[in-house]
Amino acid sequence: MKVLFKYLPALFVVSLSACGGDSWNDPYPTADVDRNILYSAFAERPKHLDPVQSYSSNEIMFTAQVYEPPLQYHYLKRPYKLVPLSATKMPVVQYVDKNGRRLTDGIDNEKIAYTIYEISIKPGIRYQPHPAFARNEQGKFLYHNLTARDLAKVYKLNDFPHTDTRELTAEDFVFEIKRLAHPRLHSPIFGLMSDYIVGLKEYSTTLKTAAKKQLRKQGKDTYLDLNNYALEGAQVVDSHTYRIKIKGKYPQFMYWLAMPFFAPIPWEAERFYTQQGLAEKNITLDWYPVGTGPYMLTENNPNLVMILEKNPNFHGETYPVGGTTEDMKKGLLADVGRPLPFISKLKFYRDKESIPRWNKFLQGYYDASGIGSDSFDQAVQITGQGEATVTEAMRVQGIRLETAVATSTYYMGFNMLDPIVGGFTDSARRLRQAISIAVDYEEYVSIFANGRGIPAQGPIAPGIAGHRYGKEGINTIVYDWENEKPRRKPIETARALLAEAGYPNGINVKTSAPLVLYFDVTARGAEDKSKLDWMRKQFQKLSIQLVVRSTDYNRFQDKIRKGNAQIFEWGWNADYPDPENFLFLLHGPQRKVGNDGENAANYDNPEYNDLFEEMKNMEDSPERQKIIDRMVKILRHDAPWLWGYHPKDYGLYHAWYKNVKPNRISHNNMKYYRIDANLRGKKRHNWNKPVLWPVVACLIVLLVGLVPGVVAYRRKERGIGVENLRAQGKNA
């Protein structure tokens, strides 16, 4: 015990001395103070960092900084515009007929049998330093035939002492396309791409057979050299040019070329990581990316921190020109033409709970933050003009708010296979239209999303081609245009529609039974009870009883897949900024039931399907807009969804965080950001001075409390002694 008390003060001093800088609550190492580092947090650890497998936003946050596909989105331009990244120019697109004859632009889409994208890549791009490229003096790879002895002291990638690099070639892009079909990997887009890239489906079969044969021959799962197997749809033209051949015409393919799925992978990396001993040590391509981008992953500890550092071999890129006057006002054009990236290190710390994350942001230890519903009132206020701005407390701290309408939609769907709410009968359609009017999404957004959303007029989110603004964009089934803004139709209109549907006052005229509908939701916590109560109230406006069927997420998905749900909530984040990526959610052949597609409402209207097929292959043009308008009109009339709302992203940024232009489509934005580390250091110092009086007060209270304790102890000890003497005297 004495030893413990002897060393406690020393431990306390050591703990304090370990605190970074002069702020005791600084969670970062002292060496990092005032360095050009961006600090961010992540709640969920990424599952995949292999570009062929990664699809979630919490994964692409890392992969997009490391991998460079041929194209990217212009950082400043809106609507979103594709520009070359590792490509020298935009791909050259050629259309050919079924006989392989080249067609000219503007030709009838039906004659197009294949589209060929020829992509030229920039010369001189080099990969990040990596042991997979390291060679010995004889030119042989150092780490491609590792033995158990070589791996005895290897626990992470940095344990390999030698690294090297090589120039990026067209073969690496083709190699990655082939990896989409690799039997050992799970690419989420393999199904989609095998419908387009010529020979990809067959290539998968070829690779499976080859892998089995190799397994039989060698007795273990070894490196399958994809270079030995040709893929018709992806061919190298020369060292810096390659071609992708897809079936028919699919203009949206260009957007896929801006995603990490089509980023280059060197065969050496695949060869290196396939070695059995490395996989057993969790050293895989899925955890240690190899790219040409501005950053490279140098520490991968997804339980604590993931660190990206500047890639010393980065080929160079400059801050883009082409911003608007608005961008200039916001200071987004101050760095035009300067070399990227600005920040030397990106540190992502794992902070699973929102409260510590938020408080660390307020202390200046995270450079940016989202806004949870708990902290919304603390952070944001709405002005008299309805504009969102930061509160006075945030403004004093120099925190600014950036908002943008997300390219997403949250909707309430009707199962079109349901006998009551589904189908194309007048009765069912009017019932759905009546409900569309009754459920007041303006109120929903105001109450449950703190105003962070725009009630949707159709499936296509704002900022996406095909979305109509103003009067011509309103859903006339649900809204009237009054005083230059949409106004939800009165509830009487909904009641009249309900009566026409055969349910006057919510009573079925045929059976005289009250109309009861079922709302299928995933199991909810107590905080969502108010949302469900609100939803019941909306249906109650039409005297419809809404029964909530709550279940866990797995069962809910199962219900949707089998078509057993009646009314449900769902959402969609766009993969790319094209209306096709929203309108396909209601395309008949994409329905969930039977086809396992993304059409959760199982909506299947032949006219809409035909228009979709026509629209999806068109370039943006007035003709395409006309078709989209017609499609949206059909949807509004059929009302398979309550269109719900498009969420607004609210982000808070400290004063030292520069060049932020919110962007939900592209993710390789870290290279554009700039941090004023000196300002951050000063602010942190001012905001985090230790407050010592409570400690002193606690010690005083403790000492003061001890005095009567000691007195009572002595009195008691004396009392016990007297009692014992008395007892002894009595006994004597």
Partner 1 sequence: MLNYIIRRMFYAIPILIGVNLITFTLFFVVNTPDDMARMQLGIKRVTPEAIAKWKQERGYDKPLVFNSAEEGVQKFIRTIFFEKSAAMFAFNFGRADDGRDIAHEIKTRMLPSLAIALPVFLLGLVAYITFALVMVFFRATYIDFWGVVLCVALMSISSLFYIIGGQFLISKLWHLVPISGFGSGLDASKFLVLPVVIGVISGAGASTRWYRTIFLEEMGKDYVRTARAKGLPETIVLFRHVLRNALIPVLTGAVVVIPLLFLGSLIAESFFGIPGLGSYTIDAINSQDFAVVRAMVFLGSFLYIIGLILTDISYTLVDPRIRLE
Residues within the interface to partner 1 (CB under 8 A): 1, 4, 11, 14-16, 18-19, 23-27, 29, 45, 47-48, 55-56, 186, 188-192, 280-282, 284, 286-287, 301, 303-304, 349-353, 355-356, 359-360, 362-363, 365, 552, 554, 557-558, 575, 596, 598, 688-692, 694-695, 709, 712-713, 716-717, 720-721, 724, 727-728
The residue (of 282 and 505) whose beta carbon lies closer to partner 1 is 282
Minimum Å gap between C-beta 724 and partner 1 is 6
CB 290 within 8 A of CB 250: no
SS3 8: helix
Q: With respect to partner 1, which residue has the nearer C-beta, 379 or 639?
A: 379
Tell the residue number behind the tokens 């079109």, with chain if given: 416
* Closest CA relative to residue 45, chosen from 300, 355, 308: 300
In this complex, which beta carbon is closest to partner 1, that of residue 353 or of residue 387?
A: 353
- Please, is 155 exposed, middle or buried when counting C-beta atoms within 10 Å of its C-beta (0-12, 13-18, 19+)? exposed
* Beta-ladder partners of 114: 96, 247
Question: In terms of Cα–Cα distance, which of 108, 70, 470, 397 is closest to 244?
Answer: 70
Shortest separation between residue 598's beta carbon and partner 1, angstroms = 7
Rounded CA separation 229/559 (Å): 42
**331 or 594: whose CB is closer to partner 1?**
594
Q: How many residues does the chain have?
A: 732
691 vs 703, beta carbon nearer partner 1: 691
Q: Tell the smallest beta-carbon distance from residue 728 to partner 1 (Å).
A: 7
Closest CA to 454 of 726, 646, 250: 646
Rank residues 278 and 639 by Cβ distance to partner 1 and give the closer one. 278
- Closest approach, Cβ 466 to partner 1, in A, equals 21
Q: Tell me how far, at minimum, the Cβ of 717 lies from partner 1, in Å.
A: 6
Which string of DSSP letters, residue by residue, matches 568-623? EEEEEE-SSSSTHHHHGGG-GGGBSTTT--SBTT----HHHHHHHHHHHTSPSSHH
438 versus 560: smaller Cβ distance to partner 1: 560
Closest approach, Cβ 321 to partner 1, in A, equals 34
In the complex with partner 1, which residue's Cβ is closer, 357 or 429?
357
Measured CA distances, 476 to 418, 458, 639, 712 (Å): 25, 11, 12, 83
User: What is the C-alpha to C-alpha distance for residues 700 and 702, in angstroms, rounded to an integer?
Assistant: 5
Of the candidates 367, 293, 364, which has an alpha carbon nearest to the alpha carbon of residue 41? Answer: 367
- State the Cα–Cα distance between residues 611 and 594, nearest whole angstrom: 22
Q: What angle do CA 492, 495, 496 make, to 5 degrees?
A: 90
Question: Given the complex with partner 1, which of 56 and 678 has the nearer CB atom?
Answer: 56
At closest approach, how far in Å is the CB of 258 from partner 1?
17
Q: Return the number of the residue (189 or 499) whose C-beta is nearest partner 1.
A: 189
* CA-angle at 54, arms to 50 and 58, nearest 5°: 115
Please report which residue ranges of 373-425 form alpha helices under DSSP H.
376-379, 392-396
> Quick one: 1 or 707, whose CB is closer to partner 1?
1
3-state secondary structure (DSSP) of residue 370: strand
- Which residue number, 382 or 727, has a Cβ lying nearer to partner 1? 727
Residue 649 CB burial class (10 angstroms; 0-12, 13-18, ≥19): middle
Please state the closest distance from residue 155 (CB atom) to partner 1, in A.
9
Nearest approach in angstroms of CB 467 to partner 1 is 21
Task: Establish how many alpha carbons lie within 13 A of residue 612's alpha carbon, considering only the half-sphere containing its beta carbon.
Answer: 22
Judge whether 464 and 672 are in contact, CB under 8 Å. Answer: no
- Tell me the C-alpha distance between 505 and 276, whole Å: 69
Smallest distance from partner 1 to CB 473, Å: 27
Give me the least distance between CB of 57 and partner 1, in Å please.
Answer: 11
- Contact between 663 and 403 under an 8 Å Cβ cutoff? The reply is no
Nearer to partner 1 by C-beta: 354 or 403? 354
Provide, rounded to whole angstroms, the least separation between the CB of residue 54 and partner 1: 9
Q: How far is the CB of 15 from partner 1 (least distance, A)?
A: 4
